[in-house]
Amino acid sequence: MAETTRGEGGDIPTIFNPHRIRAPPNLVITNETPRGGVPNGPFGRSSHALHHSDSESQSEQHQPVNNRSGMCSRLKSCKNSCCSKSARKIYYGVCVTVCVTASWVGATHAIKYLYLKQPHTHITSGNVTSIHQQPVMTYNAPFFTTWFCTNWTVLFFPLYMLCHLSTNRCKSGDVLAESVRSFREKGFTAGRFLTRCCFFCLLWVGTNYMYIHSLRILLATDVMALFATNVSCVYLLSWVILHEQFVGVRIVAVILCDTGVALLAYMDGITGSPTLSGVVLAASAAAGSAVYKVLFKKVIGDASYGQVSLFFSLIGLLNASLLWPLCLTLYFTGIETLYWDRLPWPALLLASILSLVANLLGNFSVALTYDLFITLGLITAVPVSAALDVVLYGAHFYGMKLAGMILISIGFFLVMFPENWPDYITRLLRNIILLSHSARWSRRHRHGAQANQQRPVVDYRTGYIRSHLRSPSGRVR
């Protein structure tokens, strides 16, 4: 369930600028619009918006032409802004957020369904033979679920190869050779590369095992809210290991996320409740996901799509070939329970496919949109999952549980604030003030011009107000 999000420079996607491209602190707002372009930003003003018709000497026959040309320019500007490259990325980003949310929620609830007790027919024989059904947990194998879902990551490189071959006419051997050559250029030998793959395979399996095992104890919404705290863990590790810039608002976000985790840990009390162990497992899964992402950036560095695909496929191969004895050991020792004749294959296959889709979107959607929309899929999945829990299981969200989720959500959004967020706020306020002053001055000037034309004239000879109006030249008609 842990995905590697590939951003520019390994930075955390932020709200104001998804790729963290640092803009100059002082933005000069001009009144001119480039030819064929749009006004400067959402608060940019075109030249016709600041033009005030002070003079009354212009003939009225030219006004329809000016209005028509102004309407055409506004329509052209609107078309260019709606069909620009950044606008298309935003449209794709919304679709990616919806797909990530749907796949993440679907995979989590499918795994949660595996742990539900299924009705089992029980026959008791004695003086009177009775047949009755009682709910029995027929599946309790979190490690087998982790192993089975991780095997599907083998499809990463074949799917990437098919997409690459469909768009570029080349041989499959060229795609594989190019990916291997890229790792060699970074100084990886075969043994060193396989060692790194084994390490990340164990980290991947451990993270997913804790996530899946926590679903046996907690509701899916609780686990997903706790897992969303991995964004704050990524920032802390990036600050320590990758030496990212210190941002005070992100430290506040980390504190809020930790407070939310603490509230969820004690939402059902302290004694006699397995909630604390489930929260610890889910929070550890979030921390493991953060460690995976930061170490991937530290060890592998900037990787291409082919390298990421090859790396994930090797993780799936190592998982399938090395960890199957552990599955058998847990099964025969009775630590994990599963009945092969009553194995819920539809839910297990659905969880594996949706998990694969979520990981594919998390790694390859960067080619279509910004990282921000991919990351938002983690937090938008929480309310969707909460609605499903209310409908399917009759769950209730109130008290400490609701407060913890709200704090985690606030911390999630605060982490995505960029380093120079005060500059963005100052620039936004400056543009709003400029627009308000411009609109006020335009309204005042327009009212003044109308009052100047329609102001009554006092005849000082008679003392009465004349009904005549002033002409544009200022003389009384």
Grouped pLDDT means (10 residues each) for the chain, 477 residues: 49 51 34 34 32 42 53 63 76 92 95 81 51 69 95 93 77 74 82 91 96 94 94 91 84 92 84 83 95 91 86 94 94 89 90 94 86 89 94 89 93 84 76 80 70 54 47 47
Cα(446)–Cα(97) distance, rounded to whole angstroms?
A: 46
Enter the pTM of the model. 0.74
> Which pair of structure tokens corresponds to residue 19?
């790729």
Q: What is the DSSP letter of 476?
A: B
SS3 label, residue 307: helix
Cα(225)–Cα(259) distance, rounded to whole angstroms?
A: 13
Q: Are 141 and 336 in contact (CB under 8 A)?
A: yes
Q: CA gyration radius for the chain?
A: 31
Task: Compute CA distances 82 → 34, 37, 76, 89, 139, whole Å.
Answer: 16, 11, 10, 11, 51
Q: Are 157 and 312 in contact (CB under 8 A)?
A: yes
Phi, psi of 53 (to 5 degrees): -85, 90
> Which pair of structure tokens corresponds to residue 358?
């979520």
Residues 98, 103, 109, 114: what is their CA dihedral angle, to the nearest 10 degrees? 170
Nearest CA to 375 out of 388, 366, 384 is that of 366
- Determine the pLDDT at residue 78: 61
For the four alpha carbons of 133, 134, 135 and 139, in that order, the dihedral sign comes to: negative
Nearest CA to 396 out of 310, 267, 265 is that of 267
Residues 76, 78, 80, 86: what is their CA dihedral angle, to the nearest 10 degrees? 170
Residues 97, 98, 104, 106: what is their CA dihedral angle, to the nearest 10 degrees? 180
Helices (DSSP H) in 186-247: which residue ranges?
A: 190-214, 220-227, 230-240
- Determine the pLDDT at residue 450: 64
Q: Are 354 and 110 in contact (CB under 8 A)?
A: yes
Cα(355)–Cα(156) distance, rounded to whole angstroms?
A: 12
Cα(144)–Cα(150) distance, rounded to whole angstroms?
A: 10
- Determine the pLDDT at residue 3: 55
Cα(282)–Cα(274) distance, rounded to whole angstroms?
A: 13
Q: What is the DSSP letter of 12?
A: P
- Determine the pLDDT at residue 408: 94
SS3 label, residue 458: strand
Cα(215)–Cα(223) distance, rounded to whole angstroms?
A: 7
- Determine the pLDDT at residue 281: 94
Helices (DSSP H) in 25-84: which residue ranges?
A: 63-82
Cα(306)–Cα(282) distance, rounded to whole angstroms?
A: 31
> Which pair of structure tokens corresponds to residue 92?
């794709």
- Determine the pLDDT at residue 26: 32
- Determine the pLDDT at residue 149: 95
Check residue 470 and give left, alpha or beta (phi > 0: left; psi -120 to 50: alpha): beta
Nearest CA to 228 out of 9, 5, 413 is that of 413
> Which pair of structure tokens corresponds to residue 403?
């407060």
